[in-house]
A and B are shown apart, each in its own frame.
Chain A
Amino acid sequence: MTTDIIISVRGLEKHFDEGKLKALQGIDCDIKRGEVVVVIGPSGSGKSTFLRCLNLLEQPSAGTITVDGADITDPRTNINKHREKMGMVFQHFNLFPHMTILKNMTLAPMKLLKKSKADAEAKAMALLQRVGLADRANAYPSQLSGGQKQRIAIVRALCMEPQVMLFDEPTSALDPEMVGEVLDVMKQLAEDGMTMVVVTHEMGFAREVADRVLFVDEGRIIEEGTPAQIFENPQQPRTQDFLRKVL
């Protein structure tokens, strides 16, 4: 059963401004392989910080994070090797503006997985095909719409063949009519069995795709459960309050 768990977080804390600001105040959670976990919560509750700690874009202040059996909070772990296993998708896409789409997608696999140009491009083209953007392979990011950029950002991360994908509000910067196309790609990914941790305000997506929903407030997991439990029958007053505001 334990091999089933890919990420294990214990007592995770993150402090900013020399301890004055406690963004995370003790998070415990286990994420199973293939599980889709959606993190919801009010603004400033620490959702992004939690996600960013998982691939060490933020250095945790306390606690341990074990990924695939290795304690990544140990200073001696190779952070870069760890990050290869964790794809991340950002709110603002963060595509490399000076490279074509294809170059965006093949840079890391060629440098890190030592793939040949042909192999890396074949993989990239196959992924572009899947998200319907094969014809934009030689375009630059500035020539794409927001929805297209975010789909590219997702497949760019997938080119590294990660075991886990982290999404930090992937649709929050999009025009409403483009949200659907990005969520569709994420659904597809979930169906393919990818382990996903998704911070989002898209409650419809959470309901439909999540295996488990975490409600976070003030740096703590206040309540967690299946989408049905959280959305139909929340137990905690704060969860009820939050859902009343967003639904």
Chain B
Amino acid sequence: MNAAVESISFFEQLWLNIQPAVQANTLTFWEYLYKEIYLNVIQGNRWLQYLKGLGITLEVSFFAILVGLALGTILAILRLPQVQNINCKGKGFWANLGAVCVKALSKFAGLYINIMRGTPLLLQVLIINFGIFGSIRMDKVIIGVIACGLNSAAYVAEIVRGGIMSVEKGQTEAGRSLGLSSLRTMIYIILPQAAKSALPSMCNEFISLIKETSILSYIALTELTKAGDYIRSRTFSAFTPYIVSGLLYLIVVLTLTWLIGKLERRLRNSDH
């Protein structure tokens, strides 16, 4: 408690010391830098607002990645050639009905991927916010998760599909010849190998997603970018809050890159 009070008073003191120069507009570079940091980070505990924004960015990103992974994997499987050409002739009414449904879903998945990849994320966010949830009160975090997750799923689908197609055909045949169903073969044999080869592209996708959540500032979600924006409107700094926000994004992305790099090395070393 004491230490905190003292440290604050230290910053305060420094601030008071440069006041004459601030008034006279004769700041040295270092004094100017301190002024910007003091106003945009220290004063009024503003750093807490960045951290809150960062927390929301991480929260939205995390759940959007989960939504994207789950939906994207399903979309990827629906787009596989063997699913697109599924054939249940002669296996009875229900099997045929199932095949027709799966084919329709596969077509839909293709359409979905094209639309999501072919239109700007910002438009998708605005449409989901004002169109779909326009009349319903809904937490902006949830809207953000839905919008970013649905968008990411389209990209994840293509990454996962590429990963699945990179697994040798013999793996499927070995699984099936043991009697495993196509679903079990997919889950236990193909997807784990697909995940490994898709990991680098997947890492890229996660990084993009984290940064793209900044678009959610358009629907007034106070994530990291919006937090900086808000502070800027209070301190009238030209761009310092954006630099602070940017540094925080950078830290997150670099940490993630490092973690996934470690995971990749571990997978490669145990190379199977």
Q: Could you tell me which A residues sit within 8 Å of B by CB distance? A: 55, 57, 74-76, 80-81, 83-84, 86-88, 90, 92, 94-99, 107-108, 111-112, 140-142, 153, 156-157, 160
Bound-state Cα–Cα, A139 to B192, Å: 18
Residues of B within 8 A of A87 (CB): 177-178
Classify chain B: how many residues form its interface, as a range. Answer: 20 to 34
Find chain A residues with CB under 8 A from B184 CB: 111
CA distance A81 to B178 in the complex (A): 9
Determine if B92 and A83 form an interchain contact, defined as CB atoms under 8 angstroms apart.
Answer: no
Q: For B177, what are the chain A residues with a Cβ–Cβ distance below 8 Å?
A: 55, 57, 83, 86-88, 157
In the complex the two chains form, is A84's CB within 8 Å of B176's CB? no
* Contact between A98 and B193, CB atoms less than 8 A apart: yes
Residues on B with beta carbons closer than 8 Å to the beta carbon of A57: 173, 176-177
Contact B180 A112 (CB under 8 A): yes
Contact residues in B for A55 (Cβ distance below 8 Å): 177
A-contacting residues, B148-205, CB 8 Å = 168, 170-171, 173-181, 184, 188-189, 192-193, 196
The 7 A-B residue pairs whose C-beta atoms are closest, nearest first, are A75-B90, A84-B179, A94-B174, A88-B177, A108-B178, A94-B170, A97-B272
A92–B169 Cα gap in the complex (Å)? 11
Q: Does B139 contact A (CB under 8 A)?
A: no
Interface-central residue, B179, B180, B189, by most chain A CB under 10 Å: B179
Give Cα distance in the complex from A55 to B176, angstroms: 9
Give the tally of cross-chain contacts (CB within 8 A): 74
6 contacts across the A-B interface (CB closer than 8 A): A74-B90, A81-B179, A94-B171, A98-B272, A140-B272, A153-B174
B174 in contact with A142 (CB, 8 Å): no
B265 located at the interface, meaning its Cβ lies under 8 Å from any Cβ of chain A in the complex = no
B89 pairs with A75, CB closer than 8 A:
yes
Q: Which residues of B contact A92 (CB under 8 A)?
A: 170
In the complex, B270 has a CB within 8 A of chain A: yes
**What residue of chain B has the Cβ atom nearest to residue A166's Cβ?**
B177
Residues B173 and A83 in contact, CB atoms below 8 Å apart:
no
Report Cα–Cα, A57/B193, bound state, in Å.
Answer: 21
Q: Is B271 engaged at the interface, CB distance under 8 Å to the other chain?
A: yes
Contacts of A107 in B (CB 8 A): 178, 180, 188
Q: Which residue of B lies closest to A109 (CB)?
A: B178
